Structure 1
Amino acid sequence: MSQSSNKGLIFGIMIGTAGVSLALVWYRKIRKSLAVIRLPGFWALNDAFPSAEELHGERGTVTALQGRQLQILEKLNSLVASLEELKEEVRCLKEAIPKLEEHVRGELRGKAGVSRESPHRRKRRSEPILSHSSEETESEGGYLTAPDLESDEEKAPVNKIQTEELDAFLSKVDSLQRSREINRKHILKLLCENEETFGEEVEFIWRLARGYGEVIQNSLDTEEKKIFANIGRNVSEKALHMAPTNGYCQLWYAILCGYMSELEGLQSKLHYAFLFKEHMMKAIELIPEEPQVHYLRGRYCYDVAKLSWIERKMAATIFGSPPTSTIEEALSNFLKAEEIKPGFSKMNYVFLAKCYRDLRQRGSALKYCDCALMLPTLNVEDKQAHQDVEKVIYSLKNK
């Protein structure tokens, strides 16, 4: 091919390339302007913007786009900031929850971090092992292993020490409980402070239930009584499930149900009254030598004998048949408690007087009023008994 032909070919290619380039530049410009005019509506983000027809020229279109983009960025920045604050709050909550849980446990137990180990075992664990025993054995991997520190021979002394500690503590609690001058809340506090140590022992649990029951008996605050009655009933229920043949577990479950019947509405009152009778009868079978079970049965019989007409109808509607009893039956139980332990209770004398009054035996009623007045007034129950006996005396002298 000649040199002039080559030059012509090259010149033609250059002209064609220039034409294509100009065509591409023109096409891109047209497409860009169309894209600006056809911008999707959701970019507006519910804000009012001027429409494409209101914009004049390419400069106005670009300015509108920039305004929209700035508003979008502002909203996105606000959303990101909110998410960061939320993440920080979640992190703080995660850090606070374990501390809060530990604090609540400490408040409920009375003291946190109390060890269940006996002093003998703690001493053994704190002693360093100075040398390997000749009894060390070789494991399958060829490592030396120490002999079992909790052998049967070593467990026996530990259990013995724990039993001795429990017996000593229960003896102390029973001694305090027999003293009528002691504030019952002090005894309950002592029991709660040792719940971590002895809380799985039946003999401890029913005494803890007794502690709640005696605080209720000596309280004048109705709301406080309700709180302690609910807690005490749960504690006594635990003891009852652990040892249903223990008469004192039956007795204190019955007593706490009795308090619930006094503090709840009529339907709950009747429900707990039935539970009271059921478990009180079981307690009488298991510990007939305990005067309190006969006194409580007398109280139940007296209250049933004094049920109003509407209460009897309600009981018949709910349970099919209402409970029945008589003043004579109540009297026989109060007399039995007095026979087992003379002067057992100031309140027992009061109910003996009430029974004889209701049976129109004025002389016997006044006799037991005098017996009640001779006993000292040492606690809230005694004060209530003193007020009741004065009312009985007044009713007898004004008939």
Structure 2
Amino acid sequence: MTAGARSILQNWVQRLYGPLTRLTGRSYSRATHTHIPVKFTLLGKGLVLSSLSVLAMESYSSKSKHAEVHASIKVEDIQEQADYLHGNGETDKLYEFLSQYKNSEDPELLWRLARASRDLAHLSKTAPDVKKRLVYESRDLAKKALELNESCSPAHKWYGICLSDVGDYEGTKVKIGNSYIIREHFQRAIELNPKDATTIHLIGLWCYMFAELPWYQTKIAAALFAAPPTATFEEALPYFEKAEEVDPNFYSKNLLYLGKTFLQLKKKEQALQWLQKAREYPLQTEEDKEVHKEATDLLKSLGEKV
């Protein structure tokens, strides 16, 4: 592969997976649609937070009590505690808590540990060698969860997300080749849980990024891959619309991409509507601020007073 082609493909992958990485780092309280940022940064879309007592939380903090916990705690209680910690951005505590169940045969625990491993990998404080180990660990855990229960929607979602990270260590060609697999798992996750707005948005994003590729990049990709991933803006739009239908205003970037997709389809009136909504979205995270700026700039370019 020439240096020029490699550079274009690397840019291609970054355009696709950069937004995905940011999206999976977020948690959402569906009761209020208030964003609770997970400290590692994407896409952690849509978890219902549990309300456990402080006593219950503290009961897991001491390693010396793990043996007693294994003997008496119910799997449902472990899941509830894990979701509570995840929703509050307690990445280190969550990983430590769930690591004691890494040999579990319960897919619900394994995909949550995969998520926790990935969260920890993306913390800025995590050393590069540790990050690499966690990236592969998260993929393997999600894969095991799927092997135990192919009908587990979150396992499909997180396997797709974790698989995308592995490409950072195995090269651009592998990462692009994995794009097909990633989309298949996102689609299967939606089949199993049609109400998961996050995964619906992710497929829309997948379609948008490949639809947006300039013709020359597509031509180069076609020379390197027998059948490179392709998509259209017409394909992307229904996913963004469906995500909004399932969970209105759940994510500022979904509003932005609705506007951008309508622009690509030459439907200015609808584009203005969604761009304005994206611009008015509460600024609760750094990403929300980025969305606000991009939506504002687009509105100005379309002659709107903002």
Change (3 A) 1:379 1:214: farther
Aligned to 1:191: 94
- State the match for 1:323 in structure 2: 229
Gaps of 5+ in 1: 1-110, 122-157
- Map Cα deviations across residues 71-121 of structure 1 (whole Å, 9 max, x no partner): xxxxxxxxxxxxxxxxxxxxxxxxxxxxxxxxxxxxxxxx997565335x8
What is the CA–CA distance in structure 1 between the aligned matches of 2:82 and 2:191, rounded to whole Å? 25
1:343 equivalent to 2:249? Answer yes
- What whole-Å deviation, never above 9, does each CA across 1:40-60 have from its counterpart, x for those lacking one? xxxxxxxxxxxxxxxxxxxxx
- What letter matches 1:193 in structure 2? E
The residue aligned with 2:285 is 379
Cα distance per residue 1:346-371 (max 9 Å; x no partner): 11111111101212222222221222
TM-score with structure 1 setting the length: 0.52
Aligned partner (choices 364, 382, 390) of residue 270 of structure 2 = 364
What's 2:110 paired with?
205
Which whole-Å CA distance do the structure 2 matches of 1:281 and 1:388 have between them?
29
In 2, Cα distance between equivalents of 1:323 and 1:339: 27
Write the distance in 1 (CA, Å) between the matches of 2:276 and 2:262: 13
Q: What is the aligned partner in structure 2 of residue 396 from structure 1?
A: 302
TM-score, structure 2 length as denominator?
0.66
Deviation of the 1:376 alpha carbon: 2.3
CA contact (8 A) 1:301 1:329 kept: yes
Any idea what SS the aligned residue of 1:118 has? helix
Letter in 1 for 2:116: G
Equivalent residue, structure 1, for 2:163: 257
What are the Cα deviations for residues 281-305 of structure 1, in whole angstroms up to 9, with x where unaligned? 2112211221112101101110111
SS in structure 2 of the partner of residue 117 of structure 1: helix
Rounded to whole Å, the distance in 2 between the matches of 1:392 and 1:217 is 31
Give the number of the structure whose alpha-carbon radius of gyration is greater. Answer: 1
- What's the RMSD between the two structures over aligned residues? 3.5
Is 1:170 aligned with 2:79?
Answer: yes
In 2, are the aligned partners of 1:302 and 1:326 still within 8 Å (CA)? yes
Question: Which residues of 2 match residues 145-164 of structure 1 at below 5 A?
Answer: 158=71, 161-163=72-74
Q: 1:371 to 1:331 in 2, by over 3 A?
A: same
Residue 198 of structure 1 and its aligned partner are, at CA, apart by 2.7
What is residue 117 of structure 1 aligned with on the other side?
67
- Paired residues, number: 241
Q: Does residue 246 of structure 1 match 2:152?
A: yes
Equivalent residues of 2:255, 2:275 under 8 A apart: yes
Q: Distance in 1 between matches of 2:229 and 2:209?
A: 10
Taking the aligned partners of 2:180 and 2:209, their CA distance within structure 1 comes to: 12
Match of 2:67, SS state, is coil
